[in-house]
Every structure is written in C-alpha cells, then in structure tokens.
Amino acid sequence: MTCIIFFNAPCLLLCVSQFERSMKVVEKKIEVPPCDKCGNLTGSMFCSLDKTEIGQLSSHKSFNLYKKGQVVFYEGNQPQGLYCIYSGKVKIHKLGDDGKEQIVRLAKTGNVIGYRALLSMDNYYATATALENTLICFFPKLVYLDLLMKNPEFSMKTIKILSGDLKTAEQMVTNMAQKHVRERMAEALLLLKEFFGLEEDKATINTVLTREDIGSIAGTTTETSIRVLSDFNKSKIIKLVGKKIKILNNRELSKIANVTE
Amino acid sequence: MNTQNASVNIQLKTPNCNQCWLKDFSVFKDCPKEILDEMFVHKQSRQFKKNEMLVRENDSFQGVFCIHEGVVKVSTSRNKNKEFILWFARPGDIIGIDSFVTSENYSFNALAIEPVSACFITASDFNELISNDPVVSRKLMKDMCEKINFIEDRITSISRKKIREQFAEMLISMSMQNKNAVLGNLPINCSVKDLASIMGTTKNYLDKILSDFNRKKVVSMHNKKIVIKDFDKLSLIAIGDEPLN
C-alpha cells in the first residue's frame, strides 16, 4: 500500500505540473483585439486619436496577464512605457515611512496607469498591484510621447485627465485631514460603489477587496477597518457576505460619510 | 535684497511676459516669443491687498492667475466649512489649472496673505495657448504631475503619521521653500492658525506641540515667527525617530 502511494506521488506531481503548464498555455492564448477594435477605446484617453495614430499605437503594443496580487510596476523604478487596462482592476498605492501602505487611486477597465511618471520624466511615484486577474496592454514610452507632441487634442485630453486626478487627490487629502475614521470608511465604501459599480442585485459592490485594502483607502489600520465594517453590519447599513459588501441603506451611508455634494 | 526687489517691481508693474523675471520658473519657460507677446496683449494685471480673495470656491470659472508677486493661500472648505489649506502659491505659480478643464466652477478659495500682484489670463486664451503649443502643454503636464505627487505624498503622511511628525515635516518643507533661508536660521512666514489648517488640526494642539519643541530647543519663536534651531533633531522627529530626552 505504502509502496503504491510512494510510486504514485511523483506521478501525481508530474500530472499537476503538466496541468499547470497547460493552464499557462491557455493563459497565453488569450487574445487582445487591436486598439481600433477595442471596446474600451471610446472611454479611454486615446479616444481623440485618428485611425493611423491608433494603428501606430496598436502595432507597438504588447500585453500581459497579471495574476491577483501581482505587481505591475514598483515605486521608484524607471518607467518604460504606458499601461492600459484591458480587463480587471488595479490598485495604486504608496508606502508610508513606517512601511504601511496607502492606496491613492484605483483603476479599472479602460483606465491608463503609469502615465504620470512618463510625463514628468521621473521614477514611478507609487506601486501598482493587480486586485484580480488583469489583462494589461503595454505601450513603449517613445510611441506615447511622440503622439503627445504631434497631436494637440491628445495632449489636451491628457491634461484633462491630470486635472481630474489633481482634484480627486485634493478631495482625498482634505477628507483625510478633517474627517473621522467612521466618515472616511463610509466614504471609501461609496467610492468603491461609484467606481466599480454594483452587481445585478443592485446592492452588492462589484469587487472583492480585503479589509486591509479598504482600510488603506480610508487611511486607517486593518483592525479599525474590520471594526467599523462590522459596526456598519450590525446597524444594518451594509451586509457582509464573505468578502463582498452589500449596501443596504445607501442614504444612511451617505449621511455618515457627510457627503455634501 | 529688499530694496533691489522693490525697484524691480516698480519697473515691471505690468510686465511683458518675455521680460518677466519669473518666466524661467513658470509654465511659459520655453514658450516661443511670439505667442507670449500675443498673450501679453490679452492678459490683465490685477492687484490684491492683503486678505483679499482672488478666487472664491464654487464661483464660475473665469480664467487662471499667474502670480507675479506675493504669496497666495489656496484652501478649500468643502467639509463642514472647515478650512483646509492645499498649498501656497508663490511668484511664478499658476492658480486655477485644477479647475481649468474638468468643471465650470473653482474648487478652492485663493486668498492673498501678502499684497499680491497677479496676471489674469482668461479661460479661452489659456485654452488656446495650451492647445496650440505642445511645449507649453508638456511643461504644464509636468507641473501638474508634480502637484499631484505632492498631494499624494501628503495623503500618505496625513493618514500614517502623528500630528507631531507631520508638523516637523511641514516646518522642514516650508523652510526649504523659503528662498532667502540660511541654514540654522529659518524663519517661517506663516501663522500657527494657518499651519493648523494645513494639517487639519486645531491651533491649540499645535501651540502645545510648539511649546514642547521650544522647550527641547528644536525651534524658537520670534515675534510670532517660528525659527528652526535644530534642523537635525527636527528631521528625526519628522521620520518618527525622536530621541528620548
């Protein structure tokens, strides 16, 4: 009996590794359409480009699958190009002096990340990590910078995106400084709801984030994040279903978040 | 230094952008001469007294200000009418680019904390300038990126640091910005109340920290101005590595 197991074990291992290898092949076979046929084009920053420019962009692109938790780029590295999310979700976070992370931005399908470091010719100011399995197209930096110089409409679009970013960052720093943890947590939930949307039941937020992630959006510790969420759960404002969060009382949540706009 | 400055200012009350001594520090650094000449015709020079508002939050967007002289406090009071200071605009900085494309309203208050002279460029002129000249728009993008990075750094430090550490960090960064500063004697030209609303805390609490810093001989107060005495100790406090004594 033991003998059989002994002989079977390596065989099993071999099977598993073969299976894994075949999985990888499947992953590699995922195709991304050329940019002009991409469904995300109209909503992305590239919408103002004409056909030849998009063709140029498309011919230089490559794409990769990032698994959940895999890092797309690291804070402090030199940027080589631009990342455009084809599907999936990415968090952009910075490390504080004490080594704790703070999420500064979230990105979803159709968003472009890593452009700021390219524009300021600086190193990456933050780290990007995939929140789920994410397909990302990559454009070399020269192609992007070339387009930026040639097409004024495109650079206008970029400025628009930057000024939007600036405003969100300003809003965030104001909230951080003036609001209490409870208010910030409620606001973080509302932000997630607005950003990722709801599932078909129109109540569950369409993303799976750890308590730690939600805490680092609101700028607090994991412990406090858990405590506040379960408090919301108890007072029936939200319902925790595993890692998913269902919003039961939207009005109450906005009231706690103190959203005036 | 002061008298020199004053004489320059008198000469350049409504300066031509090409001769403006701030050109090299601003967005228009590499802008072609002809475009600047054209802009000079359209722009207006405006003077503001101390405590006068340049821009009020939620007013409809008219244009951007290029600061020529003086310091402007840019703040927001979105939350419960509590003031929060985003940044200080100095000569050469442009106020209003954050509201320039995305919305019709200003998203901040701008208040002159010294007598200010600023050049006003209307929205359509500025728009034209950026969309026609890739050099200016590249520089503008770069400036905006720096500003976003600055604010995101502050988000990280606000959420992760104690007020005490933040305060030390703030004092250091403000003394660095002061161009006339000499190490060892760094006066910070800002009231304690303003410092409190930069960090979103109260004046009383900062006074407490200040008196503690004062006792440890890290800073001292001279006619309501803060002077940094021990730069090394202050940087240790800022990174949360304060010596115990």
Domains (range + CATH), chain A: 35-175 (2.60.120.10), 180-257 (1.10.10.10)
**Range list of β-strands (E), A99-237:** 101-107, 112-113, 127-130, 134-140
Residue A156: burial class (beta carbons within 10 Å; 0-12, 13-18, 19+): middle
* Min Cα–Cα distance to chain B from A7, Å: 54
What part of B 49-78 touches A (C-beta under 8 Å)? 76, 78
pLDDT over 90 for what percent of chain A?
18
According to the model, what pLDDT value does residue B10 have? 42
- Nearest by CB to A219, from B137, B149, B159: name it: B159
Stretch B163-180: mean pLDDT:
76
User: Of the candidates B106, B143, B70, which has an alpha carbon nearest to the alpha carbon of residue A119?
Assistant: B143
* pLDDT for the residue numbered A179: 83
Residue B14 pLDDT grade (very low, low, confident, very high; cuts 50, 70, 90): low
What's the pLDDT score for residue A174?
A: 84
Residue that has been written with the tokens 């026609």 in this structure: B132
Distance CA A61, CA A70 (A): 20
* Degrees, nearest 5: CA angle B161-A91-A81: 110
> What average pLDDT does this structure show over A4-26?
49
Q: Are A102 and B159 an interchain contact pair (Cβ–Cβ within 8 Å)?
A: yes
In terms of average pLDDT, the best of A15-24, A128-137, B173-182 is A128-137
Q: Is the pLDDT of residue A261 over 60?
A: no
Q: CATH code for B161-238?
A: 1.10.10.10
pLDDT at A5: 46
pLDDT band at B94 (very low <50, low <70, confident <90, very high): confident
| Residue B149 φ/ψ, nearest 5 degrees | -60, -40
Phi, psi for residue A204 in degrees, rounded to 5: -85, 130
Interchain CB contact of B152 with A (< 8 Å): yes
Tell me the average pLDDT across B131-149.
83
Residue B236 has pLDDT above 80, yes or no: yes
Of the residues B94, B148, B199, the best mutation for testing chain A's interface (the one with the most A CB atoms within 10 Å of its CB) is: B148
Region A109-123: mean pLDDT is 88
Residue B11: its pLDDT value, please?
41
Is residue A164 within 8 Å of A113, Cβ to Cβ? no
Contact B172, B238 (CB under 8 A): yes
Domain ranges of chain B: 2-158, 161-238
Res A160: pLDDT: 83
Q: Classify domain B2-158 at the CATH superfamily level.
A: Jelly Rolls (2.60.120.10)
**Contact across the interface for A162 and B84, Cβ inside 8 Å:** no
Identical fold between B2-158 and B161-238: no
Rounded CA-CA distance B108/A20 in Å is 54
Q: What is the mean pLDDT of residues B51-79?
A: 85
Does A142 lie at the interface with B, CB-CB under 8 angstroms? no
> Within 13 Å, how many C-alpha atoms sit on residue A93's CB side?
23
Mean pLDDT for B50-73 is: 86
User: Would you state the pLDDT for residue A3?
Assistant: 45
Using the predicted structure, report yes or no on whether residue B74 has a pLDDT greater than 80: yes
Lowest mean pLDDT among A99-108, A130-139, A252-261, B204-213: A252-261
A231 pLDDT above the threshold of 70 = yes
